[in-house]
Amino acid sequence: MAVVFEKPHALTDVDLHYCPGCTHGIIHRLVAEVIDEMGIEGDTIGVCPVGCSVMAYDYFNCDMIEAAHGRAPAVATGVKRSLPEKFVFTYQGDGDVAAIGTAETVHAASRGENIVIVFVNNTTYGMTGGQMAPTTLPKQVTQTTPFGRDTAVNGFPIRVVEMLATLSGTALAARVAVDTVPHVKEAKKMIRKAFENQKNKTGFSVVEVLSTCPTNWGLSPVDSLTRLQEEMIPYYPLGIYKDVNVRTVREVNA
Amino acid sequence: MTDNILIAGFGGQGILFAGKILVYAGMASGKEVSWLPSYGPEMRGGTCNCSVVISDEPIGSPLVITPDVLIALNTPSLEKFINNVKPGGVVLIDTTMCDAKVTREDVKVFALPATEMADTNDLKGGANIILLGKLLGETKILTEEAFAKAVEKVVPISKPKLRENDMRALTLGMQY
Amino acid sequence: MEKMLMKGNEALAEAAIRAGCKCFFGYPITPQTEVAAYLSRQLPKNGGVFLQAESEVAAINMVYGAAAAGVRTMTSSSSPGISLKAEGISYLCGADLPCVIINVQRGGPGLGGIQPSQADYWQATKALGHGDSRVFVYAPNSVQEMVNLVVIAFDKADEYRVPAMILADGLLGQMMEPVSFPEISANKTEKPWATDGHGNNRPHNIANSLYLKPDVLENSIWERDSRYKQMEMTETMADYYCCDDAEIVVAAYGASSRICKSAVKAARDQGIKAGLFRPVTLFPFPKNELKTACRNAKKVLTVEMSTGQMVEDVKLALECKIPVEFYGRTGGIIPTPDEVLAEIKKLNENKGE
C-alpha cells in the first residue's frame, strides 16, 4: 500500500497532550519536518520551555533538554558553545520569551548566538489557565485581566520580532502564522531558513509563530483561527523583519 | 620565626607591589609566605594596605593585625596602625608624605624622605622600594640577593630599565 | 615541583583549566572577579569557552546547557550572585547534571558588604536550591587547596552526577600564596546520558527535572538521595591539628580555620591542650572524623565568620555529648587569633563544668 501520510521521524510516538484545536501540534510537526528534510536529527539538541510545550522533550526524537522558565536561550547558549557543530533550537512560548526570559532572549540575539528560537505566540499563559501574557492584546480578557487588558495598568503588548530585528546579532527575525495552508507553508519555509542560517553560521534566528489557544480564549478552534486573523495579525503583522541574507520588509517598503 | 609586615598608604603608591616583592623574596629564601591586599570599592586614590607574612613554619592567619614591621607611606596609615605595632617592632615612615610623629618609645622608628629621594634620583614612584631597602638594611629580614631574585620575578624581562631602577632604589634605601 | 605565587581566585581558575573545564560562564562580582578575568585570558588559549553572561541567572543556565552537553563546566560568583543562581542549581540537581560552582563569600544579607564572610554555610550545605537537592561543598583554607579541591570537585561531580561547590571567601580569593599544580590526568568519566546529539545510533537522551507523576518524582528523588547517602559514607574529608590529646577542640573551616590554627598554636605554647578540627567537605559533613577529633575533648568551640551556622552541624554530629560553644565575627570582620585564644582560655578554665 502506498504511504500517503506519515509522522515525521523527528517526532516520537508519544501522544501529544495539547488541547483540541491548539496549533502547537502543527508547529511541532513543522520543526520535525525541517529536521527530517535536513537530515540533522542525530546532530540536533532541542531545548524546551516552561509553559504548554513543557513536555516537548517527549515529543521530539532528537536529544532534548528541559529548561527553567525563560532560560532556554541561556541553556541553548551553553549547549551551542560546547558543541558548536551541532544544531540547537529552543521552542518557547510568549511568557518564556518575552516576560520571564526577556533578558536571555535579548542577549542571545545581541550575541548573535547561532541558534534557532521557535517562538509560539498565543497571547496567553495557556498551561497555568489563561493569564495575561506579555503579548496579550489591549482589552483582551484573561484570568488576570478579567475586565480586559488595561494598558494604563498593564502596559502594552511586546512585538518581539520587531524588537529583536533591531539588534545587530540577529540574522533572521520573522513572524508567521499557522491559520491557513499558505501560512503553514510559509511558516515551514521560515523555520527551514532559520535552521539553514544555523548551518551556515549566520547567527541568531527567531521565528515567531502566531498560534491559537481555543481553551483559554473560550472559542471554538475555528473561531480561534478567525480571532488570530482578525485581532492578532493586525497587531502582529506577518513578514520578515530582518534577514541578513536579503533585504527586509521595511527596506523593501522604503 | 615569623615576620608580620603591614605596608600602608594611598592607592597608587605601589603598596601591593612592594608586598609582592617581599613575598617573592621570602619565597626565594625558602620561607613560607602569604600576601593579602585590602580591597575596597574604590579603584584609585583610596587607602590601601597589604599584609605580608614571612615565616619559617606554615602560616596561620595571613591577616596582619599586630605587625612586627609597619611601613607607612602616608599620615592616615601611620595614625591608623602605629598603636597596633608589637612592642620592639619596626616602623618605617616616608616623611615626605607623612608629617605625624611617633610618640611610642617601645618601637624602632626609621624615618626617611623616601618620595623626595625617589624624585631627586629620577626614580619617580620608587618610594616603596626605597623603604624596603631601608628595611633590609636595618633588619636583615631578607637578603639583597633574595630581593634581586624577587625583582626578576615581579618585573618582566621586557622592562630592564624598571628592574635596574628597583635595584637602584633598594640600594638608596639601604645606604640611607 | 616549582611553586608560583598566585591569588586564590586565579589559582582556582588555573586549576579548573587543568581539570579539563571547557566552558566557563560568569558575571562580574567582587570579590571573585579575578576568576572570570583569568579565565577570559587563559581558557580560550586552552581550547575552552569563556562567556560573560548577561546575568547570574543566565550564567548558571548556560552551565546547565553545557553540563547537559557533557562537557566540564564551571561558574563563579560571590554571595548575592549565588542567590541568583539558586534556581539554576536546583535544576542542575534535578536533572543530575555535574558542574562546579565557586562561591567566594562576602558579607550579607542583601548586598551586605564585599569583605570576607562565611555566612553562606547554611545556603551552601542545606538549601542551595529548592527541593530535596544537595551539592558537594568543599571548603579550601589555602591557595594550594583551592587548586586541589577544584580538581576533586570536577571528578566527584561527574562521578555522582551532583553539582559541586567550592565555598571559599574573600580572604582566600584575594590572598597570594605559593602554589604548585600537580599533573592532572584527564577525566575518564563516560557520559552516556549527555544530550550531545544521538547521531542516529541511540535513543534520544533527555535532560530534565520535570516529573508530573508524584510516584515517579518520589522515586527519582530517593534514587538521588541514595547517592547523597553514599557521599556521606565515602566522600567526607577533614583535617586535624593537635587533636590527639586535645581537651578543647576548635572546629573551623576555610579562612577562619587559619586564624584558629594560630590561636591553637598559641594556646599550646601556654600549656593548654587545644586542637583544631577542620572539615574540608561541608556537605557531606565529616561527622565521624569530628567524633574522632573530639575523643578526649571536654569542650568544643566552633569559630565562624558568621553568627553561627556550622555550629549546628557540629552539635548534631556530637549528639550533644560534649558542650559546644560558638565564637563568631561577621559582616566582613575577620576574627583575630587573640580573640579566639581568649575564648579557648575561657573554655579551658571551665572545662570541668
Split at pLDDT 50, 70, 90, the class of A252 is low
Task: Please tell me which residue of chain A has the smallest CA distance to C210.
Answer: A66
Q: Please state whether the peptide bond connecting residue A138 to the residue before it is cis, i.e. omega within 30 degrees of 0.
A: no
Of C174, C178, C262, the CB nearest to B60: C262
Going by C-alpha positions, the residue among A246, A216, B35 that lies closest to residue C142 is: B35
Three-class DSSP category at B21: helix
- The H or E element that residue B33 is part of is strand B32-37
CATH architecture of A24-253: 3-Layer(aba) Sandwich (3.40)
CB contact under 8 A, A79 and C88: no
The Cα–Cα gap between B170 and C154 comes to 45
Residues 6+ apart with CB under 8 A from A55: A17, A48, C210
Three-class DSSP category at B128: helix
Split at pLDDT 50, 70, 90, the class of C186 is low
The Cα–Cα gap between C250 and C263 comes to 9
Protein fold of C4-234: Rossmann fold (3.40.50)
Above pLDDT 70, what percent of chain A?
97
Of C55, C61, C200, the CB nearest to A68: C61
| Mean pLDDT within A105-109 | 98
The Cα–Cα gap between A165 and A161 comes to 6
For the domain that residue B75 is a member of, what is the CATH number? 3.40.920.10
Of A235-249, C155-169, C224-238, C270-284, the poorest mean pLDDT is in: A235-249
Pick the residue with more confidence: B46 or B108? B108
| Size of the A and C interface in Cβ pairs below 8 Å | 137
Strands of chain C (E only): list them. Answer: 4-7, 23-26, 49-52, 73-77, 100-105, 136-138, 164-169, 176-179, 206-207, 238-241, 248-251, 274-279, 281-283, 299-304, 324-328
The Cα–Cα gap between C345 and C116 comes to 26
How many whole angstroms from its chain centre is CA C161?
16
pLDDT at C229 over 60: yes
Residue whose C-alpha cell reads 629621594 in the numeric block = B117
Protein fold of C240-349: Rossmann fold (3.40.50)
pLDDT at residue A43 in the model:
98
Asked whether A117 and A67 are in contact (CB, 8 A), the reply is no
Split at pLDDT 50, 70, 90, the class of C214 is very high
C contact residues 163-222, partner A, Cβ 8 Å cutoff: 195-201, 204-210
Q: What range does the domain containing B84 cover?
A: 2-175
Residues 6+ apart with CB under 8 A from A15: none
Verify B-A touch: 3 or more CB pairs within 8 A.
no
Asked whether B109 and B100 are in contact (CB, 8 A), the reply is no
| Chains touching A, CB cut-off 8 Å, 3+ pairs | C
Q: What are the backbone dihedrals phi and psi of residue A37, each rounded to the nearest 5 degrees, phi first?
A: -65, -35
Residue whose C-alpha cell reads 534535578 in the numeric block = C94
| Mean pLDDT within C62-71 | 98
pLDDT digits over A145-162, tens only?
A: 999 999 999 999 999 999
Split at pLDDT 50, 70, 90, the class of C2 is confident
Decide the pairing of beta strands C176-179 and C164-169.
Answer: unpaired
| Mean pLDDT within C225-244 | 98
The Cα–Cα gap between C150 and A72 comes to 28
pLDDT at residue B44 in the model:
62
Count Cβ atoms within 10 A of the Cβ of residue C284 and give its class: 0-12 exposed, 13-18 middle, 19 or more buried.
Answer: buried
Cα separations (Å) of A228 from A206, A211, A212, A235?
Answer: 20, 7, 7, 10
Asked whether B19 and B52 are in contact (CB, 8 A), the reply is yes
Q: Cell triple for residue C328?
A: 563568631
pLDDT digits over C235-288, tens only?
A: 999 999 999 999 999 999 999 999 999 999 999 999 999 999 999 999 999 999
Residues 6+ apart with CB under 8 A from A34: A188, A191, A192, A195
Three-class DSSP category at A168: coil
pLDDT at residue B45 in the model:
63
Is the minimum CB–CB distance between C76 and chain A shorter than 8 Å? no
Three-class DSSP category at C93: helix
Q: Cell triple for residue A212?
A: 491559537
Three-class DSSP category at A12: coil
Of C3, C5, C334, the CB nearest to B63: C334
Task: Please tell me which residue of chain C has the smallest CA distance to B50.
Answer: C175
CB contact under 8 A, A62 and C49: no
The Cα–Cα gap between B162 and A96 comes to 56
Of A60, A77, A86, the CB nearest to C62: A77
Chain C interface, best mutation among B7, B33, B48, B63, by max C CB count within 10 A? B63
The Cα–Cα gap between A82 and A222 comes to 44
Is the minimum CB–CB distance between A82 and chain C shorter than 8 Å? yes
pLDDT at A250 over 60: no
Task: Please tell me which residue of chain B has the smallest CA distance to C259.
Answer: B61
Verify C-B touch: 3 or more CB pairs within 8 A.
yes
Above pLDDT 90, what percent of chain A?
94
Residue whose C-alpha cell reads 623616601 in the numeric block = B114
Residues of B in contact with C258 (CB under 8 A): 59-62
pLDDT digits over C322-337, tens only?
A: 999 999 999 999 999 9
Per the structure, the count of domains in chain B is 1
Going by C-alpha positions, the residue among B77, B108, B80 that lies closest to residue B94 is: B77
Is the minimum CB–CB distance between B59 and chain C shorter than 8 Å? yes
pLDDT at A247 over 60: no
What pairs with residue A121 in β-bridges? Answer: A210
Is the minimum CB–CB distance between B84 and chain C shorter than 8 Å? no
pLDDT at B166 over 70: yes
Going by C-alpha positions, the residue among B28, B30, B77, B29 that lies closest to residue B50 is: B77
- The H or E element that residue B8 is part of is strand B2-10
Residues of C in contact with B21 (CB under 8 A): none
Positive/negative CA dihedral, C182, C183, C189, C195: positive
Asked whether C237 and C280 are in contact (CB, 8 A), the reply is yes
CB contact under 8 A, B59 and C258: yes
Of C62, C71, C195, the CB nearest to A63: C195
**CA-based nearest distance C190→chain B, Å:** 39
Residues of A in contact with C200 (CB under 8 A): 41-42
pLDDT at residue A254 in the model:
57
pLDDT digits over C100-144, tens only?
A: 999 999 999 999 999 999 999 999 999 999 999 999 999 999 999
**CA-based nearest distance A107→chain C, Å:** 7
> Residue ranges per domain, chain A?
24-253
Task: Please tell me which residue of chain C has the smallest CA distance to A109.
Answer: C54
Asked whether C173 and C34 are in contact (CB, 8 A), the reply is yes
Of B34, B39, B61, the CB nearest to C176: B34
The Cα–Cα gap between C336 and A62 comes to 58
Asked whether A88 and A79 are in contact (CB, 8 A), the reply is yes
Three-class DSSP category at C228: helix
Mean of the per-residue pLDDT values of chain A: 95
Residues of B in contact with C344 (CB under 8 A): none
pLDDT at C88 over 80: yes
CB contact under 8 A, B20 and C31: no
Is the minimum CB–CB distance between B27 and chain C shorter than 8 Å? yes
**CA-based nearest distance C261→chain B, Å:** 6
The Cα–Cα gap between B123 and A233 comes to 73
The Cα–Cα gap between A212 and A26 comes to 11
Is the minimum CB–CB distance between B37 and chain C shorter than 8 Å? yes
Strands of chain A (E only): list them. Answer: 44-48, 63-66, 87-93, 116-121, 170-177, 204-210, 239-243
CB contact under 8 A, C175 and B65: no
Alpha helices in C138-206 (DSSP H): 143-160, 170-174
Alpha helices in C46-184 (DSSP H): 56-68, 79-94, 121-126, 143-160, 170-174
pLDDT at C1 over 70: no
Is the minimum CB–CB distance between B46 and chain C shorter than 8 Å? no
Mean of the per-residue pLDDT values of chain C: 96
pLDDT digits over C6-49, tens only?
A: 999 999 999 999 999 999 999 999 999 999 999 999 999 999 99
Residues of B in contact with C336 (CB under 8 A): 61, 63, 65
> Residue ranges per domain, chain C?
4-234, 240-349
Chain C positions touching chain B (beta carbons under 8 Å): 3, 5, 30-31, 114, 170-171, 174-178, 258-263, 265, 334, 336-338
Q: What are the backbone dihedrals phi and psi of residue C178, each rounded to the nearest 5 degrees, phi first?
A: -65, 140
**CA-based nearest distance C54→chain A, Å:** 7
The Cα–Cα gap between A182 and C98 comes to 46
Residues 6+ apart with CB under 8 A from C277: C238, C239, C240, C243, C249, C250, C251, C252, C289, C290, C293, C294
The Cα–Cα gap between C323 and B47 comes to 43
